[in-house]
Structure 1
Amino acid sequence: MTHISATIETLVNKAIEKDLIEASDAVYARNQILGILQLDNFMEGASLIKEASIPDLLEILSQNAVERHIIEDLLDEKEKIESLIMNVFLSKPSEVNRDFYQKYNQSPVMATDFFYQLSKDSNYIQTKRIAKNIQFQTASSYGDLDITINLSKPEKDPEQIKREREMKQDIAYPKCLLCAENEGYVGRIGHPARSNHRIIEVPLEGESWFLQYSPYVYYNEHSIVFAKDHRPMKINRDAFSRLTAFVEKFPHYFIGSNADLPIVGGSILSHDHYQAGNYTFAMTKAEEEFSFTLHSFPDVKAAVVKWPLSVIRLQHPNRTTLVEAADYILNNWRAYTDTEAHIHAFSDDVPHNTITPIARMRDNQFELDLVLRNNRQTEEHPMGLFHPHEDVHHIKKENIGLIEVMGLAVLPPRLKEELDAIKKHLLDDSENVADYHQNWVQSMKKGHSSITKENVEQIVETELGKKFERVLEDAGVFKTTADGRQAFRRFIDHLNA
């Protein structure tokens, strides 16, 4: 009992240090936690646990609950009780929103700084798990690409998976993981705990939208902006209006949307949402390859970006004008076919063309990057013609969504062990390497005459970056070759016809 009392007392003290509660709230918070853990007794005066973080303390408490048979030894059950404990230290949603907008009135940066820190301190953002991710940058023809091997999401054990299958029920609440109804939801098997979840209301163009941070942030202040209504994602004029309205409110953030078609879209197309944050991606820093004039919008600055995907960048000080220009390009692209470039707008009545848009403020002007996408499948490329091709599937075969489009690879966790095996194999041939990596390993051996303990990690990281560069080039509808650029100019001519 002494150890658990010390853990609770340390957690309460941590919450006071982080301004989640005040010192006068300590006894109340302690008693609430005792109730959640079904403990009647508490040993006062126990020594605090040094060098323990909030996630560490929560793990001790949830494991103790397992050992006392308060909860089952399942990931979802442990997350539920940890989320309930942290909710003890959090203000109600109305109070969090009030604090946010009091700070916003001083500075949008101050407001998002407050909410981001709150989301980390409350353990909603899983800082301990995120720290496990492998992250580095690697040079490419298009600038420094970000590489992340995603190790933050814990793997479900067989019992958890079995329980989820058994508990498949007709539960439609919340309708999905993005719905506003997740705020404060205790969770269940198969649906994550959200007791410590808070969202900020951010009205956009007369609609109710909300801001939250991703529990597993892939970049600084990785946030999700989502509609109150549970409705499918749609790229249209209204989307461009909302994106530019958001950066007008939060000029230090970018915001973008996944495309709205399968294969080229994101993982959740059922709920209208965007992703935002305070980070500068390689695509943002990419140079203009050539500029052009849009005859219908001569005062809008337009350029093609030097990037593996096909990007038109628009700039204008008036966001309404910019939105009109973007909508004009979208409508033309949706109907555009160029058989020489293998671009077909439709198969029968099934649409293939759409856009991944990204908005930001730059030099006091609104800026929109319009990434042209096409999801057509062929016999040779059944997963998608403008999708990572089969020879790079050993690295990445999932959808190329908004984050990858901008130059940040989110790669599967299997690569950690596989890359370690490749490094050992390159040094002394002693380690077995997965069959699907064999060609890649042989090309590394041929391309590097001297591989040593000192340079093997750099070599593998550089070669991984080259593979991701290829992934992005596969996703480009107009290739970066001379023929591809000529095809891009044909589309621009079409816009000006």
Structure 2
Amino acid sequence: MQLIEQFTEKAIRSGRFQPLDKIYVANKVRSLVGDEDVQAKDDEPLVAQLVELAVKRGKIEDGPTAKEILNDQLYDLLTPLPSTVNRLFWEKYEQSPQLATDWFYRLCTNNDYVKVSAIKKNVVFKHKVQGGNELEITINLSKPEKDPKAIAAAAHNKDKQYPQCVLCMENEGYLGRLGHAARSNHRIIRLTLGGHQWGLQYSPYAYFNEHCIFLDAKHEPMQINQQTLVNLVEIEKMFPQYFVGSNADLPIVGGSLLSHEHYQGGRHVFPMMKAPIKEALTFKEYPQVEAGIVDWPMSDLRLISTDTTALINLGAHIINSWDHYSDPQLQLIAEKNGTRHHTVTPIMHRDHEKFVLDLVLRDNNTNEDYPLGIFHPHAQYWHIKKENIGLIEVMGRAILPARLKDELVQVKRFWLKQPNQISEAHLPWAKAVASKREINADNVDEVMQAELAQVFANVLADAGVFKDDAAGQAGWQRFIQKL
């Protein structure tokens, strides 16, 4: 069958158009790729073939930005309008929340908004570390390299941006440009949280199963307070099949986007959620809430209850107390010169009827010894992980940079005494591992996985405010007494 004709029929089957619209849709496609139809190939997606055709005919540049824009314009023709998507979602929600999210996720993978083929490139494995936790390690290969033209354009562009950021509602249907991703095929579910309009979307380059984002309809900075916990509870009541959490709202300990209020969620059980409570706590004013310190490298207080009001109130009390709590013995300073340094990373999931709230205590102070953060990956681990420890990593899933895929091949060659081009940055670590292990061709991959996981565990411990030693445990007790 001819390529444009085949795509047109698929667009009509998608439900956005009626059979009478066939000529109209075909002409929309011709305006993008050229008028003459060609024979379709059986072994390649239709949209990819149409993008190739447009490049060949000079309709678009042969560059990543132009190709992405056209790709998403074509997939938009296969996607119902936002109003239709929202109507169908909430109709399905009446039957079950999971039916609705299953349908919406499938829509977002079928229309290439969620980049399934790119995500499959990621390296993913699990490994146990000292202390017994099984951590998840990913090397993130899915995100495309930035277009050099986009980088240059951004350097010269001083205008106010539209959309203001990548999370704004205004991205829905946005064509895209150099430096701002194409979003023609993007759809957002509208919902209400705390009396305000929010949106639900999926992450294009997901870090775990059904990685979704809940975003404020207004472009306002992130903040962690009692309302955050109210919103997380509302989300858990609305979508009990998902966990939901927020990045911290301060630099160094927060995520990469602090300018737009949002939460992340999805259908995944993270290592931290499986970690047991190592010390049970009781709060006399909240007898209906189970509480305790979690056996985890970072400093995590867990609250469990079926009474969400009590859970929110106790959680807010802990957040407020930590915001103002200092312990100079441990270099924990809540505020300096009017600048706040304490916050939490809050995460919530359901255990049947119970709501489980993890509050991970964060401090973003710096000093001369630790200019990037006292409670941040320390310099000895920067060869593996230098970036902030955000929400996903707090829960035990490392997101490591793409450069490691090739660099770690050279480390393995070094261990096997083969010719190599090992980076100077990896050499001290590689030598230390080699000195304590017998490494051969049969176990080199296992050694690499084990050692990467241990580095990640050490990085999480660096980010913990109360260390797993006598001083740290005494610090925990001092803070709990204040509560």
TM-score interval for Structure 1 and Structure 2 normalised by the shorter chain: over 0.9
Number of the residue aligned with 2:105: 116
**Partner Cα distance (2:32, 2:57) in 1:** 13
Of 288, 304, 316 in structure 1, the residue corresponding to residue 305 of structure 2 is: 316
Letter in 2 for 1:435: E
Letter in 2 for 1:86: Y
Query: Structure 2: which 5+ residue stretches go unaligned?
Result: none
Does the CA contact (< 8 Å) of 2:149 and 2:178 recur in 1? no
Letter in 1 for 2:456: F
Of 133, 153, 160 in structure 1, the residue corresponding to residue 143 of structure 2 is: 153
**Partner Cα distance (1:339, 1:156) in 2:** 43
Shift of 1:75: 1.5
Shift of 1:15: 6.0
Does the CA contact (< 8 Å) of 2:252 and 2:372 recur in 1? yes
**Partner Cα distance (1:467, 1:23) in 2:** 58
**Partner Cα distance (1:454, 1:23) in 2:** 60
**Partner Cα distance (1:146, 1:16) in 2:** 42
Per the alignment, do residues 471 and 24 of structure 1 end up closer, same or farther by CA in structure 2, a change over 3 Å counting?
farther
1:50 aligned onto 2:42? yes
Does the CA contact (< 8 Å) of 1:126 and 1:216 recur in 2? yes
Which range moves more in the overlay, 425-434 or 104-113? 425-434
Letter in 1 for 2:458: R
Shift of 1:78: 1.1
**Partner Cα distance (1:19, 1:455) in 2:** 53
Per the alignment, do residues 310 and 330 of structure 1 end up closer, same or farther by CA in structure 2, a change over 3 Å counting?
same
1:477 aligned onto 2:427? no
1:456 aligned onto 2:448? no
**Partner Cα distance (2:388, 2:422) in 1:** 25
| Cα deviation code 1:421-449 (max 9, x no counterpart) | 11122112410210010011101211212
| Cα deviation code 1:278-315 (max 9, x no counterpart) | 10000011111111111332321111111011001111
SS of aligned partner of 1:203: strand
Does the CA contact (< 8 Å) of 2:15 and 2:80 recur in 1? no
Of 416, 426, 446 in structure 1, the residue corresponding to residue 435 of structure 2 is: 446
Does the CA contact (< 8 Å) of 2:16 and 2:77 recur in 1? no
1:40 aligned onto 2:35? yes
Does the CA contact (< 8 Å) of 2:32 and 2:59 recur in 1? no
The aligned runs of 1:210-225 (5 Å cut-off) are: 210-225=199-214
Shift of 1:10: 5.1
Which range moves more in the overlay, 15-24 or 476-485? 15-24
Query: Structure 1: which 5+ residue stretches go unaligned?
Result: none
**Partner Cα distance (2:447, 2:4) in 1:** 47
Which range moves more in the overlay, 211-220 or 152-161? 152-161
**Partner Cα distance (1:439, 1:163) in 2:** 39
For normalisation by structure 2, the TM-score amounts to: 0.95
Shift of 1:467: 0.5
Does the CA contact (< 8 Å) of 2:14 and 2:79 recur in 1? no
Letter in 1 for 2:42: K
SS of aligned partner of 1:337: coil
Number of the residue aligned with 1:73: 62
* Matched length: 482
Does the CA contact (< 8 Å) of 1:142 and 1:307 recur in 2? no
Letter in 1 for 2:127: T
1:103 aligned onto 2:85? no
**Partner Cα distance (1:25, 1:433) in 2:** 59
Does the CA contact (< 8 Å) of 1:142 and 1:308 recur in 2? no
Does the CA contact (< 8 Å) of 1:21 and 1:90 recur in 2? no
1:138 aligned onto 2:127? yes
Of 267, 271, 279 in structure 2, the residue corresponding to residue 282 of structure 1 is: 271
Does the CA contact (< 8 Å) of 1:132 and 1:151 recur in 2? yes
For normalisation by structure 1, the TM-score amounts to: 0.93
Letter in 2 for 1:475: A
Does the CA contact (< 8 Å) of 2:289 and 2:307 recur in 1? no
Of 230, 239, 253 in structure 2, the residue corresponding to residue 264 of structure 1 is: 253
| Cα deviation code 1:395-424 (max 9, x no counterpart) | 011110000000111111100000111112
Shift of 1:23: 7.3
Of 177, 183, 190 in structure 1, the residue corresponding to residue 172 of structure 2 is: 183
Letter in 2 for 1:232: P
**Partner Cα distance (2:20, 2:176) in 1:** 30
SS of aligned partner of 1:101: helix
Shift of 1:61: 2.4
Shift of 1:11: 4.4
Letter in 2 for 1:34: R
1:90 aligned onto 2:79? yes
Letter in 2 for 1:201: R
Which range moves more in the overlay, 185-194 or 72-81? 72-81
Shift of 1:6: 4.1
**Partner Cα distance (1:73, 1:51) in 2:** 22
Does the CA contact (< 8 Å) of 2:2 and 2:37 recur in 1? no
Does the CA contact (< 8 Å) of 1:6 and 1:49 recur in 2? no
Of 391, 413, 416 in structure 2, the residue corresponding to residue 424 of structure 1 is: 413
Percent of aligned pairs sharing the same letter: 43
| Cα deviation code 1:161-201 (max 9, x no counterpart) | 334434x1414311111000110011111111100000001
Does the CA contact (< 8 Å) of 1:357 and 1:371 recur in 2? yes
Which range moves more in the overlay, 341-350 or 390-399? 341-350
Letter in 2 for 1:154: P
| Cα deviation code 1:90-139 (max 9, x no counterpart) | 11111100100111000100000000010000000111111111111111
**Partner Cα distance (1:49, 1:182) in 2:** 33
SS of aligned partner of 1:397: coil
Shift of 1:480: 1.6
1:468 aligned onto 2:456? yes
| Cα deviation code 1:181-225 (max 9, x no counterpart) | 110011111111100000001211211010000000010000000
**Partner Cα distance (2:443, 2:12) in 1:** 46
SS of aligned partner of 2:416: helix
**Partner Cα distance (2:14, 2:125) in 1:** 30
**Partner Cα distance (2:432, 2:196) in 1:** 53
Letter in 2 for 1:456: V
Does the CA contact (< 8 Å) of 2:323 and 2:334 recur in 1? yes
SS of aligned partner of 2:196: coil
Which range moves more in the overlay, 404-413 or 148-157? 148-157
Number of the residue aligned with 2:196: 207
**Partner Cα distance (1:190, 1:36) in 2:** 21
